[in-house]
Structure 1
Amino acid sequence: MAVALTMARMKLSILRHSTQGQQGGMMASAGSVGVLLAGGTIVLAFLDGDWLAAAYSVWLLGWIIGPVFSGGGDETLRPEFFSLLGLRPQRMAAGLLVAAFVGVAPAVSLLALAGLVVAGVREGVAGALVAVPAMVLQLAVFVLLSKVTVALMGLALGSRIGAIGAGVVNGVILAFLGQIWVFMVAFGQGGQVPEVVRYLPSGWGLLAVQGEYLALAAMAVLVVLLLAAWAALLTRRAGRSRPSTRGRRPMRAATPHGAVVAKELRSWTRDLVRNHQLAFAFTYGVAFAAVPLVLGIAEMLPLAGPLFIMMAAAMTANAYGTDGTAHWLTLMTPGASDVRGRQLAWLAAVGPVGLVLAVACTAIVGGPWPLVMAATFALIGGAVGLVPLVSVVGLIPGIDPKNRGGNPLRTSEDDGSATGMAYLMLLLVALTAAPAVAVAVFFGWWGVPAGLLSGALCWWGFGLLAERRLTAQGPELLHLMRTGRRPDSGAKASETFKLPDNMTRTQRLIVIICSSLGAIPLVPQGIVAMVFLSNGQLRQSWFLATHMPPGLRWPVAIGFVLLGLAMYGTALWLWLRAKRAAAG
């Protein structure tokens, strides 16, 4: 108990000193959004049916996959910090578990679990009394499942098969969340939530307050089992780093340019993190485009190829940063065109897969060929040009691959900024395809040569800018990778993609809400509704435009598209305005 309380006090002290400046603002904004979501969850407790159980299953899913996409989640206290103290694995796991309850995310989740109290009061005195221990045990289940998942993911990334399998699972889960409207429509058509959600681990607390007290004991047993599993995984994590003794074929290249290409292609095949990223991007593109088939909507399937290209670009946006200090090899190799070599390697690794995926999925649906091919060619060129440019302009120092430690999901000391860079890359790559898509919409097959031309120009032009910056500021970038600070101002590089300190709490909240929810009016209520209208499919569930009078259908759908774009634009405008004000 003394170890657990000490770790909790350490965590609390670290958080208390992190509530100032940029990080404090981010915590406050994230906490505000979390409180709103928790409030909405509590409201569901007043409704009949299994809506509260469904909401808690979403919270559990967030606890499981959230850390996977944020570099391993909250590691304020890392197991490696205590490895020399001689603590038994069970004791260390218990202490880290108690410390894990200290933070914004556990507090917000506990507030959401207050819905159990409401549900218990509705059941009577016994239900109200059971609600409090049910809340605590349910939160422990959330936290421990998150910890065990991250630990298992770290072990999976220790082998190629595991890395690819983890990428497939993560891609499917995130795609399902991105297309959550499909399942909302499916549930809405049935009129109720499937009863099975009550019997998931996320619904055991609700079962307990409704009189099934064995669920309370089941949660206690599950907590003990998860704690034991986490302790065993912590032991594996502490001793997992070991050098590989497998023989390597020699790398042969006649020119410095060829050496860069060979080195990058070898990294694509051998770096397990890159294997994971590529598998994730592929699975996300296919799953995101295929999920609407549940409702009989096949028109989104051709988007699989373009989505894969965009996601692959977002995942590799910090290419130079994740390579760490290996950049000194480029500085010491006169005449090496590092940018052009990386572009060719990226094109070889991603381009053919994206092109084949776009052709195959479009052939299944039967079109629209001009639009899909124009977007695919433009996106490939745009991504090939932007990946090195964004990486050298907004480089975020990463952890050297040899020093990634027991959590290979953490490739940067500031994964929040890396996530911001990925979102920015998604937007920029999509914009490079806009001209070709516009030509394809109005002039049909002329969009394909327009896509080839714009892709070639982006590849050449953005690559040239990246190459010039790399040549002019190579030593400064190496210093940035080594120290994490820019040599001119001493400012941290991770601040490039963070919300500036001079933004008010209201502005931060607006940026988070607009960037998080902008996809809802843009995709389902806008783009998907347009697909329904084009095919004459009216009265389609929650798609508002399909329920409007004939003269308002298209204006409403277009209005939703404009609303989604306006939300993204507002978030970008507030961020850029604050950045300019801070710089000036």
Structure 2
Amino acid sequence: MAVAMTMVRMKVAMLRHAYRGQRAQTTGTGAAIGAVLAAGTVYLAFLGPDLLAAGYAVWLLGWVLGPVFTGGGDETLRPEYFAPLGLPPRRLAAGLLTGAFVGVAPLVSLGALIGLAVAGARLGAVNALVAVPAIGLQLAAFVLLSKVVVALVGLALRTRAGAIAAGLLNGAIVAGLGQIWVFMVAFGQTGTPAAVWYLPSGWGLLAVRGQWWALAALAALDLLLLAAWAALLGRRAGATRVSGGGRRPITAGTAAGAVVAKELRTWSRDLVRNHYLAFALSYGVCFAASPLLIGWNGMLPYAGPIFVVMAAGMSSNLYGSDGTALWLTMMAGASDVRGRQLAWLSTQGLVAVALTVGFTAITGGPWPLVLALLVALLGGAAGLVPLVSVLALVPATDPHRRAGNPLRTSEDDGGLTGLAYLMFVLVILTGAPAGLVAVFFGWAGVAVGVVTGVLCWWGFGLLAERRLATHAPELLDTMRTGRKPTSPAKRSFQDLSRTRRNIAGWCFGFGAVPLIPQGILAAVFVANGMLRHSWFLATYMPAGWRYPVAAGFIAVGLAMYGSALWIVRSASNKATT
């Protein structure tokens, strides 16, 4: 107990000092969104037990899959910190588990699990009392399942075979979730699947509804997961195996050729890159092949373009992944960008071409649209990958200094996730012109795709070269210190009073809510006759109030952004005078 309470105090102290500045605003935004989702989950308890069970299944998936794709989850307290103390594995695991309950994600999940108490209270006093231990055991199951899955994936990433297998499995799971409608249609499921009751996420609700064995099963599962995590913590301390045996020496006649050879060697030996490549491949194939379950092969030809978009997102921090070895890049000069572009096309492009040609040949088309998208997206991705990674570099851990959790490649995993989503959007935009032309004019779209692809590859690469030439020392300093250079505007913003700074931060963070969903989208739904739709307030108003309410939300959103900009601008003006 003493160890557990010490870890709790350490976690509270570390979080109190960590949640400041931009990180505090990001955490506050995430907490607010989580609170809304938790409230929506509790509301499901009033609609029916089936919906509540499905909601908890979604929370379970979030706990299991979320940390895998965001750098291993919360590791404020790392097992490596306590290795010199010689604590027994189970005692260490119990202490770390207690500390894991301190944080935003467990608190939000606890709020969602209040739905168990609501469901129990609607059935009777005894059921409401059973909900109390069920909530604690259910939350422990969420946290422990997350820890065990992350530990297993981290262990798999210590070998090439494990890294590839984990990437293929994760890609298939995420693609399946993205195409869940296909499985529902294929298996004739129109309501809540019965399987959600038998997932660990549904055991707490089963116990509340009178099946007392589920409470004992949930306690046994927690103990089993705790023992498994303790065993995996012991394996985590082991040394990471080196991937691959001896290789022929790298030879190249030019500087760009040397960069290409170095990057190709890195793509073949870096286990994290192996994992990312396998994930993108599995996602593209499984997402496009899922409709085969209902007899439709129309998505198969797009496996290649989907793979390109996903692979670009996985490579969005290409320069950051080098760690402090970035100084070698500085000495290579402009040839480094072109070399990395060629290496990226060599590793990702060949796979994309094989997927696209093979699957399109099976279905018989549409050749113009698929080829137009492929060449445009390849060129756009090859240009954007180096450009985005130098413009928005996220400091990453040196590959040889990665902790026992190989998923943790950076301390700013939220930044990595945001960078990946940004890359998805930008790459898709580069393929939009060629796709539109192909839809209306056929093979002319391929020519447009070639032109836009080459221009993106050359133009974005040129911008990346110039950025690297003028800001390489700043990038290296960011990589070494983990802090980005503070611009005068940002310094003036930080000089504001806490009240004005918080107002501006909340306006920037939440201005989109009234402006876009409650304002613009709600007006579109009203115009299309989509009334009483989801959480869009204007769709629930009487006829004469629908457009005014939507317009009012738009005005509120614009006013929030305007207020935030006015505060920032006034701070900048004071700083310059």
Q: Which TM class, normalised by the smaller chain length?
A: 0.7 to 0.9
Counterparts of 1:148 and 1:470 in 2: how far apart (Å)?
40
8 Å CA contact 1:22, 1:501 repeated in 2: no
1:352-371 mapped onto 2 (5 Å cutoff): 352-371=350-369
Tell me which residue corresponds to 1:206: 205
1:514 Cα deviation (Å)?
9.5
The size of the alignment, in residue pairs, is 532
Give the partner amino acid of 1:417: G
User: Structure 2 CA distance, aligned partners of 1:150 and 1:579?
Assistant: 42
Distance 2:267 2:240 in 1: 21
1:472-551 correspondence runs (5 A): 472-486=470-484, 489=487, 503-505=504-506, 507-509=508-510, 511=512
TM-superposed deviation, 1:21: 2.7
CA distance in 1: counterparts of 2:290 and 2:508, whole angstroms: 34
The one-letter code sitting in structure 2 at the alignment partner of 1:289 is: A
d(CA) in 2 for partners of 1:297, 1:481: 48
Q: Which amino acid aligns with 1:284?
A: Y
Cα deviation, residue 512, structure 1: 8.0
CA displacement at 1:72 relative to structure 2: 0.6
Q: Is the 8 A contact 1:303 1:358 kept in 2?
A: yes
Paired residues of 1:256 and 1:336 also in contact (CA < 8 A) = no
Contact 1:398 1:481 in 2 (8 A): yes
Structure 1 residue 385 and structure 2 residue 373: aligned?
A: no
Alpha-carbon shift at residue 491 of structure 1 (Å): 11
Task: Tell me the distance in 1 between the aligned counterparts of 2:198 and 2:504.
Answer: 44
Instruction: Name 2:112's counterpart in structure 1.
Output: 112
Which AA in structure 1 matches 2:269?
R
Q: Is the 8 A contact 2:158 2:241 kept in 1?
A: no
Native 8 Å contact 2:320 2:389 kept in 1:
yes
Write out aligned runs for 1:324-343 (5 A): 324-333=323-332, 337-343=335-341
CA contact (8 A) 2:7 2:98 kept: yes
Deviations 1:241-283 (A, max 9, x none): 4667943332222222211111100111111100111111111
The superposition leaves residues 121-147 of structure 1 with CA deviations (integer Å, 9 ceiling, x where unpaired) of 233222111111011001000000000
Judge which range, 316-325 or 122-131, deviates more: 122-131
What's 2:157 paired with? 157
Which digits, 9 at most, give the CA deviation of each residue in 1:515-549, with x for residues without a partner?
999xx99xxx9xxxxxxxxxxxxxxxx9xxxxxxx
Q: Return closer, same or farther for 1:475/1:20 CA change in 2, 3 Å cut-off.
A: closer
**Within 2, Cα distance between the matches of 1:183 and 1:128?**
35
Aligned to 1:26: 26
In 1, the alpha carbon distance for the partners of 2:73 and 2:104 equals: 13
Q: Per-residue CA shift, 1:185-242, capped at 9, x if unaligned?
A: 678x644322222111111111111111111111111111111111111111122346
Q: Aligned equivalents of 1:341 and 1:477: distance in 2? A: 19
Decide whether aligned partners of structure 1 residues 577 and 388 sit closer, same or farther in structure 2, where only a CA change above 3 A counts.
Answer: farther
Q: CA deviation at 1:359?
A: 2.5
**More off after superposition, 452-461 vs 11-20:** 11-20
Residue 378 to residue 153, structure 1, CA distance change in 2 (3 Å): same
Deviation at 1:504, TM superposition (A): 4.0
Alpha-carbon displacement from aligned partner over 1:86-121 (angstroms, at most 9, x marks no partner): 211111111110111111111111111111112222
Asked if residue 466 in structure 1 is aligned to residue 454 in structure 2, the reply is no
* 1:300 aligned residue: 299
Percent of pairs with identical residues:
62
2:93 aligns with 93
Cα distance, 1:505 vs structure 2: 2.6
Q: Give the aligned residue type for 2:370.
A: V
Residue 5 of structure 1: how far off its partner (Å): 0.8
In structure 1, C-alpha distance between the alignment counterparts of 2:568 and 2:351, rounded to whole Å: 39
Task: Measure, in 2, the Cα distance between the counterparts of 1:486 and 1:283.
Answer: 35
* Matching residue of 2:267: 268
Note the C-alpha offset of 1:361.
Answer: 3.0
The AA in structure 2 aligned to 1:285 is: G
CA contact (8 A) 2:57 2:201 kept: yes
Q: CA deviation at 1:501?
A: 6.9
SS at match of 1:66: helix
Question: CA distance change for structure 1 residues 400 and 583 in 2, over 3 Å: closer, same or farther?
Answer: farther
Cross-structure match for 1:236: 235
Is the counterpart of residue 39 in structure 1 residue 66 in structure 2? no
**Residues 243 and 269, structure 2, Cα contact 8 Å, conserved in 1:** no
1:288 aligned onto 2:287 = yes
Superposed CA RMSD in Å reads 3.4
- 1:83–1:28 CA distance, 2 compared to 1 (3 A): same
Residue in 1 that maps onto 2:250: 251
Aligned residue type for 1:108: V
Q: Distance in 2 between matches of 1:393 and 1:336?
A: 16
Map 1:68-83 → 2, pairs under 5 A: 68-83=68-83
How far apart, in 1, do the equivalents of 2:58 and 2:422 lie?
26
Q: Partner of 1:421 in structure 2? A: 419
Q: Give distance in 1, aligned partners of 2:215 and 2:507.
A: 40
Contact 1:309 1:380 in 2 (8 A): yes
Describe the SS at the equivalent of 2:442. Answer: helix
**Cα separation, 1, equivalents of 2:344 and 2:297:** 30
> What is the match of residue 563 of structure 1?
none
Q: 1:280 to 1:316 in 2, by over 3 A?
A: same
* Cα distance between partner residues in 2 of 1:453 and 1:432: 11
Residue by residue over 1:397-438, the C-alpha shift from the partner in whole angstroms, topping out at 9 and shown as x without a partner, is 111100111111111121111111111111111111122122
SS of aligned partner of 2:443: helix
Take 2:30 and 2:514, find their aligned partners in 1: how far apart are those partners?
10
Contact 1:49 1:192 in 2 (8 A): no
Q: Distance in 2 between matches of 1:85 and 1:102?
A: 22
Distance of 2:441 and 2:298 partners within structure 1: 20
Deviations 1:483-514 (A, max 9, x none): 2234575999xx9xxxx977443542455899
**CA distance in 2: counterparts of 1:463 and 1:79, whole angstroms:** 41
CA distance in 2, matches of 1:243, 1:181: 41
**2-structure distance, mates of 1:91, 1:412:** 28
Change (3 A) 1:405 1:452: same
Are the counterparts in 2 of residues 57 and 203 from structure 1 also a CA contact under 8 Å? Answer: yes
Residue 23 of structure 1 deviates from its aligned partner by: 1.9
Q: Determine the C-alpha separation between the residues in 1 that align with 2:286 and 2:269.
A: 25
Output the CA distance in 2 between the equivalents of 1:174 and 1:347: 25
Secondary structure, counterpart of 1:299 in structure 2: coil
The reply on whether 1:65 has 2:65 as its aligned counterpart is: yes
Contact between 1:171 and 1:284, CA under 8 Å: does it hold in 2? yes
Counterparts of 1:174 and 1:277, CA distance in 2: 13
Structure 1 residues 417 and 185: alpha-carbon distance in aligned structure 2, compared to 1, 3 A threshold: same
Q: Is this contact kept in 2: 1:396–1:412, CA < 8 A? A: yes
> In structure 2, what is the equivalent of residue 444 of structure 1?
442
Residue 476 of structure 2 aligns with an amino acid whose one-letter code is L
Worse-matched range after superposition: 312-321 or 432-441: 432-441
Q: CA deviation at 1:302?
A: 2.9
Residue of structure 1 in register with 2:400 after alignment: 402
Q: Is the deviation greater in 266-275 or in 280-289?
A: 280-289
Alignment partner, residue 431 of structure 1: 429
Give the unaligned 5+ runs of structure 2. Answer: 494-500, 526-532, 534-553
Cα contact 1:116–1:209 (8 A) shared by 2: yes
Partner deviation per Cα, 1:273-308 (whole Å, 9 max, x = no partner): 001111111111222233344455543333321111
Secondary structure of 2:76 counterpart = coil
Deviation at 1:480, TM superposition (A): 2.2
